[in-house]
Amino acid sequence: MNPAAIYQNKQYLQRIREIVKISTKHGFNHIIEHIKLKDKLPFTKRYLHYKPSEEPDATTPERARLVLEELGPTFIKFGQILSTREDLIGEEYAKEFSKLQDITPTVSYDIIKSTIEHELGHRINYYFSEFDKQSLASASIGQVHKATLKDGSKVAIKIQKPDILKQTEEDIRIMRYLANLIEKHMPHWKYYNIPQIIDEFERSIRKEIDYQQEKTNIKKFRKMFKDDETITAPKVYDKYSTKRILTMEYINGTKIKDLKKSRKRFDKKLIAKRGAESIFKQVLIHGFFHADPHPGNIFILKDNVICFIDFGMMGHIDKDTMNDLAQLFIHITNYNINGLINQLTNMGLINETIDIRTFKYDTIDIMDMYYDNDLKNIQLGEILNKLMKLLVKHKVTLPREIVLLSRAIIMIESIGTTLDPDFNIAEEYKPYTKQVIRRKISPLNLAKSIKDNAFEYEHLAKTLPKSLKEIINRLAIGKINIEFEHKNLDTFSNNLKWIGNRLSFAMIISSLIIGSSLIMQTDKGHLLFGFPIIGILGFIISAVLGLGLIISIIRFKKI
Q: How far is CA 544 from the centre of its chain?
A: 43
Residue 247: phi, psi to the nearest 5?
Answer: -105, 120
pLDDT at residue 373, as a whole number: 47
Does residue 197 contact residue 88 with C-beta atoms inside 8 Å?
yes
Considering the entire predicted model, what is its pTM?
Answer: 0.72
Does residue 192 contact residue 223 with C-beta atoms inside 8 Å?
no
pLDDT at residue 453, as a whole number: 66
Residue of 415, 422, 231 whose CA lies nearest to 309:
231
Q: How far apart are CA 411 and CA 424, in angstroms?
A: 14
- Roughly how many angstroms between the first and final C-alpha of the chain, as a whole number? 68
Q: Rounded to the nearest 10 degrees, how much is the dihedral formed by the CA atoms of 459, 463, 465, 467? A: -150
Q: How far apart are CA 539 and CA 521, in angstroms?
A: 13
CA 495 vs CA 457, 492, 498, 551, 557: distances in Å: 30, 5, 5, 18, 10
pLDDT at residue 375, as a whole number: 52
Mean pLDDT by 10 residues, the chain (559 residues): 62 85 87 75 49 67 92 89 81 87 78 96 95 90 94 96 90 90 83 82 89 96 95 96 96 89 87 93 92 90 94 89 86 87 87 86 86 62 83 81 86 90 84 78 65 66 75 68 57 64 70 70 66 73 73 58
Residue 556: phi, psi to the nearest 5?
Answer: -110, -10
Does residue 230 contact residue 274 with C-beta atoms inside 8 Å?
yes
Q: How far apart are CA 460 and CA 441, in angstroms?
A: 25
Does residue 248 contact residue 237 with C-beta atoms inside 8 Å?
yes
* 390 Rama sector, left if φ>0, alpha if ψ -120 to 50, beta otherwise: alpha
Does residue 387 contact residue 396 with C-beta atoms inside 8 Å?
no
- Strands (E) located in 87-216: 128-131, 137-138, 142-149, 154-160
**Strand-pair partners of 527:** 532
